[in-house]
Every structure is written in C-alpha cells, then in structure tokens.
Amino acid sequence: MATLIKKKVIFSHIVKYVNRSTKRLSSHFTYFPDNEAPVQGETTQMNMMQAINNAMDITLREDPSAVLFGEDVGFGGVFRCALGLQEKYGKDRVFNTPLCEQGIAGFGIGMATTGANVIAEIQFADYIFPAFDQLVNEAAKARYRSGGQWGCGLTVRAPAAAVGHGGLYHSQSPEAFFAHAPGLKVVIPRGPITAKGLLLACTQSPDPCVFLEPKVLYRAAAEPVPTETYTLPLGKAQVLREGSSATLIGWGTQVHVLLEVAQTAEQQLGVKCEVIDLMSILPWDQETVFNSVRKTGRCLVSHEAPLTSGFGAEIAASVQEECFLHLEAPVSRVCGWDAPFPHVFEPLYLPTKHRVYHELTKLLEY
Amino acid sequence: MALSVCIRAVRRSCVARAVTAVRLSTHSEPSLQNGAKVAAFPGAKAPYVNEMKILNENSYDPIPIYRVMDSNGDIIDSREEPDIDRETLINMYKTMVQMNQMDKILYESQRQGRISFYMTNYGEEGIHVGSAAALTPKDLVYAQYRELGVLLFRGMTVSELINQCYGNHEDPGKGRQMPVHYGSKQRNIVTISSPLATQMPQAVGAAYAFKRSADRDRVVICYFGEGAASEGDAHAALNFAATLECPVILFCRNNGYAISTPSREQYRGDGIAARGPALGLHTIRVDGTDALAVYNATARARELALQNKPVLIEAMSYRVGHHSTSDDSTAYRPLEEIQQWSKDENSIQKLRLYLERKGLWSEEAEKAAAKDARDLVMRTMQNAEKKKKPHWKEMLEDVYYDMPPHIQKQMKQMEEHLKKYGDKYPMDQYQNE
C-alpha cells in the first residue's frame, strides 16, 4: 500500500511537471491555415519561410534590377529565408553586408533611388532602430521633399514578434513606431499565403515598405501556396470569419489567437465574432474595420506590442470617431503590458487567448 | 553523455592553451609557432612581433596636402598642371563669381526677412568648381547643403535655385523644404535633406546600382563636412563602399568648423583622410582652396572609382562665412582668423591669378562677370518674389505615389475648413486651382 501511494505521488509529480512544461513550452496559439487560395492554379505546401523565399525568388527572377542583402543573407539567412538564392542569382544580387543596420537601410535607399528593386533584410525587427533615421527621415520623405522627383521603392524585411523565448531583443513588434511616419507602408502577414502575396506587392510598390515577419510562423505555419506570381493589395484588410456580436481586429500571429477565441466564444457562449486581419498597418483599411464595427457594435483590438501608443490606440480612436452611434461598449484593447518584452515571463506577458477571451466576455456583457 | 563530452572538450582545450602559454613564455620565433611568417587569424593578415607597442595618433605621419598652385596662382610643378580647356576654365571661374553674388544677395535678403534661411559657401568655391569640372553630367551627386558651386556648374539655373529658396510654385521641390535644400533629377542631383551624413550610405548604394547597370561609365560623388563625418552613417558608408567595392567618391569638405565646434573637438586622429586606408579605401588629402588640385584629385578618383575602387578625398579649407543665417560665428572664433583665410588663401583669387597669367581673364572681364552675375540674381529674385506659392493641396501630395484614402479624407477636411475659415489664412499667397 505504502509503495502504491509512493508510486502514485511520484506519478502525479511527473504529470504535474509535464503539464507545467507543456504550458510553458507550447506556443501560445494554434495556427489556422488559409482555406482559400487568392488565385486559381497549382499550389505547393509551404511554410512561411519557404513562401517568403519563393516570393524573393520570383522577384529576383522577374526583375534583373532586383537585389537582396543584409547580415548573413549570403548563406541563406539565419532564418533560411534566402536559402539557395545566392547560388541561383549570384553574389552581386544576393549578398552579405557589414554588420550595420543604418548602413543597410541607407545603402538600400540609395539603390532604390536609382530605380533598382531592393529587398533589404534586418536580422531582427528589434535591431531596426539604428536604421530608424534612414527609414523615417529619409526613405519615408524622399518623394515628398523632392516634389516627386525622386522616389524610394525599397522593401525592408525584418523578423518580428514573440517566439517563445526571445526576451527583450528577439521579440519586439515595432509597427507602431513606423505607423507614425507618413510615407512608409507597414505590412505584416499572418501565414505563407499572405506572406508571399504581400511581399510581392511590397517589392512592386513605388513606396518604401517595412515588412514585418512574425518569426514564430516561419516553420510553424504551413499551407498550400499558389506557385505562380500573385499579389495581395497593400492597405486592405481581410475578414477571416464573419460574425455579428463583436469585431476582433489583429495582425500577424495574433490573428490566430483571435480566431481561436472566436471559435471558443461560439462553442461556449453561442456568439459569432467577426475576425479581421488588418495586414497593412500603414495605410490601414479603415473602411473594412468601420463597416464591421457598425454592424457588430463592439470592437476589440489585440496586439503583442505594448498597450500605450500601440497601433490599437489609433484604431480605437478612429472607431469611436467614425462608429460612435453604433458602439454598444467602449473599444477594448488587449495588448502586451507596458514593459520591455521579458524572457521567463513571456507566457504572462502576451495577450493570450485567455486574456482576450476574458476581455471579450466583459465586452459582450457591458 | 553530451555533458561529459563537453567537459572533456573543454579540458582538452585548456590543456592546449596551457601548452601554448608555455611556448609563448620561451619567446620562440613567431614563425615557429604556426609554421608561417604571417599569422593565420581570419580577421587580419599581419606578422607577429615580440615587442609590445601601442599605437597612437602620432604613430603615422600626417597625410600630406596635395596642391598644384601656390597662393599667387602659380603652378608649383608644371607636370601637375591639369589639361583643362579654356572654355571649362572660364566656366569654372564664372561659376565662382556667380555663386559669390548669389551668396551675397541671398544672405542679405534673409537679413531683410525676404527668405527664411540661407547658407553661404564662402571659402569653399575651389572645392565646388574643381570637383564638379572633373565629373560628367551622368555622374550622380549627393550633396550635404554647402555645394552651391557644384549645382551651378552642373547647369542648375539661378532661377531654379532661387525659386527653391522662395518655395514658389516653380520650385521643383514644391516649396516643401527649407531654403538651400536643392535637387534636380534632370541634372542627376539627389535632393538635399537636413539630417547630416544620411546621404553617405545612400550614395554608396546608388554607386552599387551603377556598378550593376548597363551603363558602366558613371560614378557617384557624395559631399559631406568634417562634422558630418562623425555620424554613424559616415562610418557605415566608408565601410560599405570598401567591402562592396562601389564606384563612389566620398568627398569631405573639411572647413575646420561644424557650426561652432572646431575640428579639435570633432576628432583626434589625422582628420578624415586617415580613416580611408584604415577602412580599405583609396585616399587623398587635397588643398581645397586650389581648384586645380581638387580637379586633379577628383579626376583621378573618378578613374579609380570606375574600376570599383572607392576613393575618399579630404579637401582642406576654411569656412569663411557664418554657418548659416542663424549663426554669428564671431561668437566662437576670432575675426582675424576669418580675415586671414579670406585674403591669403582665397580660392577665387588663386584661380583668377592663374587665369590672368594664362591670358584668359582680365580686370574688365572680372567687372563684367560680376555685374552679369549680380544682375541675374537680382532679376531672378524679383521674379521669384512675385510668383505665388504652390496650391495648398500640394501639402498633401507626394507623401505616397498614390494618395491613400486617409490622406484624401484629410484633404477634404482641410477643404471644408478653408471654405469656412479661409479668410484666416494667407490664401492670396498660394496658387488657386
């Protein structure tokens, strides 16, 4: 009996330990693959890294002026997004630069000034700040200050957002810093299909684009991606799930958190929530958002970046201005806390499905 | 298992290190340590030495200043006299006269409140015309803001430049930037912006694009002051230019001051030129008051750049004028110093004496040129002043290639506002429809 109890205690310890590690280590979201392809035709199963690689491959293949560069891009990049491209297109088109973000951005702007199609990589979005001056004061203002004489069709790619253990400098979501810079386009995909379509749209855009890639999706997200060339429009959101009780707005990884919350809310509360992937942060699709909120009367915005002056603030203010008479409750924001992104506290820092669900129930009961 | 392997590996490397330490203490020949005279570290190719020596700013001789003319406009070594045709030489000198007249009159007009801001080019005329004459119109120019002579020599008209200063509807920049922020796509001059040194890595990128393009007979020249060279972007540019082998000339105007900060407080090394070889660039230091020396250095630099060998030129000069119209430089430097540089080492005077000796210039020509230049500036200013500013809607154009809906909405808001409150704004100064 005693041994049995002892065994039981040990077993329960193990279960507790495993449960705890699962809670700690499991990703904070479930990936919802895209069901509909944006174009007809052949598809290939790709994860997001492969879809991005495919988009850059197409750009380099179709535009002889196109180049790709950054830190460690030559051997394929630390996230393997540039894999095989240097072998295919040569060292003068896919190359390493010295380790200097302001140099990468400035160099890219200069190339774009001559009309070249430029894709520059910043290794992590957390390290884009040394290039902030070049992007905000130079790239964003190049067309305006020259009276339209000189443009800057530059695309800057950067892995962004939470990855489970990235701590302060491998987890940031800096979109709101750039959303305050007229002249820039800021774009964030939610998976392979959107990554390819939006990245190709960025490379074809005559305006400078900051393309933030949620790095946790590079391998976690896979779906059938059309093999041919296609673009998704910049400045346009997508309604991923229709509903009438509340509008949930997010982008990047957080879209999948919102989709799961909408599913749970339907199962447990019997309410249908509309889920919108904003995709373009600047310029953002006000029309789609306002139409949805006018219909549902309730709005919840959720992002990984800190609450204060996050892009959710811009959405909340605009929604109250445009949908005032339709709102049944104050706009709710579920975001990262106003602290640097922490290492061991990540599970408590993120706007988890539980936090979003909790706020949604309050929003519905208001 | 993995852990024990790891520990074993660490132990082994400790042993190896101990052995090396013993060997080092015996002061054996460097060549015996790795079987070669030059160490095999991937980061540098250098021999070992056994004597410790820490280098400082005096470890190298200062880079000498290349000059062709003395202060009387006499050629010092006839082999160095450049072969420039008469017409170009006269054009170079006339450009100096023109920029001087423009500086004088626009500086005064700022003092009278007719334009909001101005920056003169006094003391740096030789740099401008010497370098500009050594380039071709296809070469792309990135300027900082004190390069008026380069723009004039390139063919930017006095009227284009003055319209920019007034921000009237004929300004190619549509009145959006402060005065002296010129630019001309047609003349291959990238529009100037205020943030210092940002143009430097951009110039390198543009040069890289030229290297890849079908037309290989083009270089990029990028001007910057010695103060701007302290910015991080300057370091980025020098390093990127070297490692990516770009056809670019990085041209530093070292005039001794960054606003009130003397170069002594800007750096402690041998100026900007010494940084060139340190970063793997071809480098020359030149007398910036000597237009012919600047011409020679730039022409040679252009040849090297076309072979994808980027060049750093440091042209020494003295900023004779105030930093800008918002600055009184006598607050931080003695008047005598300014006078000395404007008299003894005056770049306009030097080129004039040279031309006179060659029989290409005279007192009468001088008077006529100065009068023509002054009249042109006066006439252009009077015209520029009469022209209206662009339509207010230009305020919201060109932010993007296409105007996004949110900016369209803001334009409508402003339109509605002006319908009601238009009388509160200086609408008569702007063009209508």
pLDDT, tens digit, 9 for 90 and up, residues A14-42 = 556 555 554 544 579 999 999 889 999 99
pLDDT, tens digit, 9 for 90 and up, residues B392-429 = 999 999 999 999 999 999 999 999 999 999 999 999 99
Q: Which of B169, B181, B186, B191 to mutate to test the interface with A (most CBs of A within 10 A)?
A: B191
- Distance (Å) from the alpha carbon of A191 to chain B's nearest alpha carbon: 25
- What's the average model confidence in pLDDT over A179-208? 98
- Is the full-model pTM beyond 0.90? yes
Alpha helices, DSSP H, located in B271-310: 275-278, 291-306
- Give the confidence band of A7 by pLDDT, cuts at 50, 70, 90: low
**What are the two backbone dihedrals, phi and then psi, of residue B288, each rounded to the nearest 5 degrees?**
-70, -10
- Give the confidence band of B340 by pLDDT, cuts at 50, 70, 90: confident
- Distance (Å) from the alpha carbon of A32 to chain B's nearest alpha carbon: 31
Residue holding tokens 């920049």?
B173
DSSP state letters, B319-386: --S-SSTT--GGGTS-HHHHHHHHHTT-HHHHHHHHHHHTTS--HHHHHHHHHHHHHHHHHHHHHHHH
Tokens of B314: 């440091």
Cα-based distances in Å from B344 to B253, B340, B366: 19, 6, 19
Question: For residue B208, what pLDDT is reported?
Answer: 98
What average pLDDT is seen over chain B?
A: 92
User: What residues in B contact A139, CB-CB < 8 Å?
Assistant: none
Query: CB of B302 within 8 A of CB of B219?
Result: yes
Per-window interface: A 132-151 vs B, CB < 8 A: 133-134, 137-138, 141-151
Please determine, for residue B20, whether its predicted confidence score (pLDDT) is greater than 50. no
Question: For residue B358, what pLDDT is reported?
Answer: 96
Higher pLDDT, B17 or A315: A315
User: What residues in B contact A100, CB-CB < 8 Å?
Assistant: 232, 235-236, 239-240
- The DSSP call for residue B184 is B
Radius of gyration of the CA atoms of chain B, in A: 27
Cα-based distances in Å from B37 to B31, B48, B52: 5, 7, 18
**Distance between CA atoms of B126 and A194, rounded to whole angstroms?**
55
Please determine, for residue A190, whether its predicted confidence score (pLDDT) is greater than 70. yes
Q: Is B198 within 8 Å of A134 when comparing Cβ atoms?
A: yes
Q: Any idea what the Cα angle at residue A320 is, between residues A314 and A324, rounded to 5°?
A: 165
Q: Is A98 within 8 Å of B171 when comparing Cβ atoms?
A: no
Question: For residue A16, what pLDDT is reported?
Answer: 60
Tokens of B26: 């015996």
Question: For residue A5, what pLDDT is reported?
Answer: 58
* B235: nearest CA partner in chain A: A103
Q: Helices B347-357 and B125-133 sit at what angle, rounded to 10 degrees?
A: 60
Closest alpha carbon to B126 in B344, B321, B359, B317: B317
Q: Is B405 within 8 Å of A149 when comparing Cβ atoms?
A: no
How far out from the chain centre does Cα B88 lie? 22
DSSP state letters, B59-77: SSPPPP-B-SB-TTS-BSS
Q: Which of A92-106, A252-266, B83-97, B327-341 has the lowest mean pLDDT?
A: B327-341
Q: Is B237 within 8 Å of A143 when comparing Cβ atoms?
A: no
Question: For residue A307, what pLDDT is reported?
Answer: 98
What residues of A are labeled active site? 101, 170
User: What residues in A contact B173, CB-CB < 8 Å?
Assistant: 145-147, 149
* B398: nearest CA partner in chain A: A144
* A116: nearest CA partner in chain B: B209
Question: For residue A13, what pLDDT is reported?
Answer: 62
Is the Cβ of B176 closer than 8 Å to some Cβ of chain A?
Answer: yes
Query: CB of B297 within 8 A of CB of B336?
Result: no
Tokens of B29: 């020949």
Per-window interface: B 400-419 vs A, CB < 8 A: 400-401, 404-407
Q: What is the end-to-end Cα distance of chain B in Å, rounded? A: 81
* A100: nearest CA partner in chain B: B236
Residue B404 has its nearest CB partner, among A138, A141, A235, at A235
Tokens of A313: 């603030």
Q: Which of B400, B402, B406 to mutate to test the interface with A (most CBs of A within 10 A)?
A: B400
Is the Cβ of A183 closer than 8 Å to some Cβ of chain B?
Answer: yes
Q: Is B406 within 8 Å of A98 when comparing Cβ atoms?
A: no
Per-window interface: B 238-267 vs A, CB < 8 A: 239-240, 243-244
Tokens of A312: 């959710």
What average pLDDT is seen over chain A?
A: 94
- Give the confidence band of B32 by pLDDT, cuts at 50, 70, 90: very low
User: What residues in B contact A109, CB-CB < 8 Å?
Assistant: 201-202, 205
DSSP state letters, A145-189: HTTTSS---EEEEEEES--SS-GGGSS---HHHHHTSTT-EEE--
Please determine, for residue B215, whether its predicted confidence score (pLDDT) is greater than 80. yes
Residue holding tokens 């009438």?
A244
Residue A114 has its nearest CB partner, among B206, B233, B235, at B206
**Distance between CA atoms of B236 and A110, rounded to whole angstroms?**
13
* A112: nearest CA partner in chain B: B206
Question: For residue B18, what pLDDT is reported?
Answer: 38
* B205: nearest CA partner in chain A: A107
Query: CB of B296 within 8 A of CB of B68?
Result: yes
DSSP state letters, A229-292: -----TT--EEEE--SSEEEEE-TTHHHHHHHHHHHHHHHH---EEEEE--EEES--HHHHHHH
Question: For residue A35, what pLDDT is reported?
Answer: 85
Q: Is B201 within 8 Å of A283 when comparing Cβ atoms?
A: no
Question: For residue A15, what pLDDT is reported?
Answer: 53
**Distance between CA atoms of B396 and B408, rounded to whole angstroms?**
8
pLDDT, tens digit, 9 for 90 and up, residues B384-394 = 999 999 999 99
**Distance between CA atoms of A298 and A271, rounded to whole angstroms?**
12
Per-window interface: A 50-109 vs B, CB < 8 A: 65, 67, 92-93, 95, 97-98, 100, 102-103, 105-109
What ipTM does the predicted assembly reach? Answer: 0.93
- What's the average model confidence in pLDDT over B106-113? 94
Question: For residue B403, what pLDDT is reported?
Answer: 98
Q: Is A110 within 8 Å of B212 when comparing Cβ atoms?
A: no
Please determine, for residue B101, whether its predicted confidence score (pLDDT) is greater than 60. yes
pLDDT, tens digit, 9 for 90 and up, residues A32-71 = 999 889 999 999 999 999 999 999 999 999 999 999 999 9
Question: For residue A36, what pLDDT is reported?
Answer: 87
Percentage, residues of chain A above pLDDT 70: 93
Helix or strand run (H / E) with residue B131:
helix B125-133
Query: CB of A184 within 8 A of CB of A282?
Result: yes
Cα-based distances in Å from B290 to A202, A358, B134, B224: 48, 75, 14, 18
- Give the confidence band of A131 by pLDDT, cuts at 50, 70, 90: very high
* A146: nearest CA partner in chain B: B173
Cα-based distances in Å from B366 to A317, B85, B360: 66, 19, 11
Question: For residue A3, what pLDDT is reported?
Answer: 56
Is the Cβ of B334 closer than 8 Å to some Cβ of chain A?
Answer: no
Is the Cβ of B193 closer than 8 Å to some Cβ of chain A?
Answer: yes
**Distance between CA atoms of B158 and B162, rounded to whole angstroms?**
6
- Give the confidence band of B21 by pLDDT, cuts at 50, 70, 90: very low
